[in-house]
Amino acid sequence: MEMRPECVPCLIGRVLFEAKEADESKSTETIKAASQILGSLFGPGACSATVATRVHEEIYRILDTDDPYKDLKRRSNEISLELYREAERFVEDADDPLQAAFLCSIVGNILDFGIGTEFDSPELLKSEFRNLLDQGLGHDDTSEVRAILEHSEEVVYLADNCGEIVFDRLALKEIDRFDARIVLVVKEKPILTDATMTDLAGLGMEKIVDEIVEAPGFAVGISVEALNGAFGKQLRKADLVVAKGMANYEALSETDIGPVAYMLRTKCSPVADSLGLSKGINAVRLLKKGGVHRG
């Protein structure tokens, strides 16, 4: 996705948040470094995910940490595990369990820190979880996704945030009712609150999916290098890619990979506008190669 001017203050805000989490004394240094990188890279045609990756790479170096969100990630998983049984009942009682499981997974996507949303604390999810479920899906391509799943041999599921990954169990269990082989993808290296192999401990994902792999490298979303290598080939041969969260959309939206079912909360106007959706909704958005809506 092409980076828009609104992305700049959002990215700076996240950098400041990271500095406060890891070493507040370096706040000025990190803001200066991020501003310099943005001044160099931001412009027409710049990919928002690629620019963000370069910024965070330098900020992590300055902060001398490989995971400034470590505590938030742990708390996010803990809170989500407390809510899991409620979410499970919601799916069990639903007329359309696949749709309900997708919704639960997307509600978990609200957990995103440092970007100016009201959910800068994992604990807020506890009080708002039911309200978020009651909002339903503001855009719903579940029926189109189901039609693809019925004829799929392999589905690749790109995970996103911790906390959210707990509810992904429900979506993965429903996808597992189809005959497709499921490949779950987490991050090789910690970046933002994205789930890694370490963050899957105790979740039992290996009992649901056929394979768990790591998206190579340090990247917001998926890196261009990974898309040009063996990992990219794996995505291209899948019958369906399920991509959780905005960063995966930002990274994949202008590639030849597809069909992709984007499952996310539209937390910012640039992503919402790019998807042709309203801001602040839960969405299942199915796109073909080249970003043309399927259906």
79 and 34 belong to one structural domain: no
32 and 78 belong to one structural domain: no
What Cα–Cα distance (Å) separates residue 178 from each residue in 158, 173, 287?
A: 18, 10, 21
In a domain, 179, yes or no: yes
In a domain, 138, yes or no: yes
In a domain, 161, yes or no: yes
125 and 148 belong to one structural domain: yes
Domain boundary (42, 63, 84) is at 63
Q: Which residues pair with 183 in a beta bridge?
A: 156, 211
184 and 221 belong to one structural domain: yes
- Dihedral sign, Cα of residue 288, residue 277, residue 194, residue 167: negative
Q: Are 171 and 105 in contact (CB under 8 A)?
A: yes
pTM of the shown model: 0.95
Each residue of 185-215: pLDDT tens digit?
999 999 999 999 999 999 999 999 999 999 9
**CA neighbours within 13 Å on the CB side: how many for 203?**
31
The span from the CA of 177 to the CA of 98, in Å, is 10
Over 70: is that where the pLDDT of 155 sits? yes
What per-residue confidence (pLDDT) applies to 295?
A: 37
For the segment 131-155, the average pLDDT, to the nearest whole number, is 97
52 and 101 belong to one structural domain: no
What per-residue confidence (pLDDT) applies to 109?
A: 87
53 and 191 belong to one structural domain: no
Q: Which domain holds residue 21?
A: 7-63
**Three-state DSSP string of the chain:** CECCCCHHHHHHHHHHHHHHHHCHHHHHHHHHHHHHHHHHHCCCCCEHHHHHHHHHHHHHHHHCCCCCCHHHHHHHHHHHHHHHHHHHHHHHCCCCHHHHHHHHHHHHCCCCCCCCCCCCCCCHHHHHHHHHHHCCCCEECHHHHHHHHCCCCEEEEECCECCHHHHHHHHHHHHCCCCCEEEEEEECCCCCCECECHHHCCCCHHHCCCEEEEECCCCCCCCHHHHCCHHHHHHHHCCEEEEECHHHHHHHCCCCCCCEEEEEECCCHHHHHHHCCCCCCEEEEEECHHHCECC
In a domain, 1, yes or no: no
75 and 52 belong to one structural domain: no
Over 50: is that where the pLDDT of 150 sits? yes
Over 80: is that where the pLDDT of 290 sits? no
* CATH code where residue 198 lies: 3.40.50.10880
Over 70: is that where the pLDDT of 28 sits? yes
Over 90: is that where the pLDDT of 289 sits? no
Query: Mean pLDDT, the chain, as a whole number?
Result: 93
In a domain, 221, yes or no: yes
Question: Domain total for the chain?
Answer: 2
Name the percent of the chain lying above pLDDT 70. Answer: 95
What per-residue confidence (pLDDT) applies to 294?
A: 39
Over 50: is that where the pLDDT of 292 sits? no
16 and 88 belong to one structural domain: no
pLDDT band at 233 (very low <50, low <70, confident <90, very high): very high
120 and 230 belong to one structural domain: yes
In a domain, 199, yes or no: yes
Each residue of 94-139: pLDDT tens digit?
999 999 999 999 998 887 776 656 666 788 888 889 999 999 999 9
What per-residue confidence (pLDDT) applies to 119?
A: 62
42 and 78 belong to one structural domain: no
What per-residue confidence (pLDDT) applies to 36?
A: 97
Q: How far apart are the first and last CA of the chain?
A: 22
227 and 276 belong to one structural domain: yes
What Cα–Cα distance (Å) separates residue 98 from each residue in 15, 58, 91, 172, 245?
A: 36, 40, 8, 9, 18
152 and 43 belong to one structural domain: no
The span from the CA of 271 to the CA of 283, in Å, is 12
- The first and second tokens of residue 159, run together, are 């995970």
Each residue of 47-105: pLDDT tens digit?
999 999 999 999 999 999 999 999 999 999 999 999 999 999 999 999 999 999 999 99
The span from the CA of 78 to the CA of 40, in Å, is 39
- The first and second tokens of residue 181, run together, are 């082989």
Over 60: is that where the pLDDT of 291 sits? no
In a domain, 253, yes or no: yes
What Cα–Cα distance (Å) separates residue 77 from each residue in 18, 74, 286?
A: 19, 5, 27
In a domain, 32, yes or no: yes
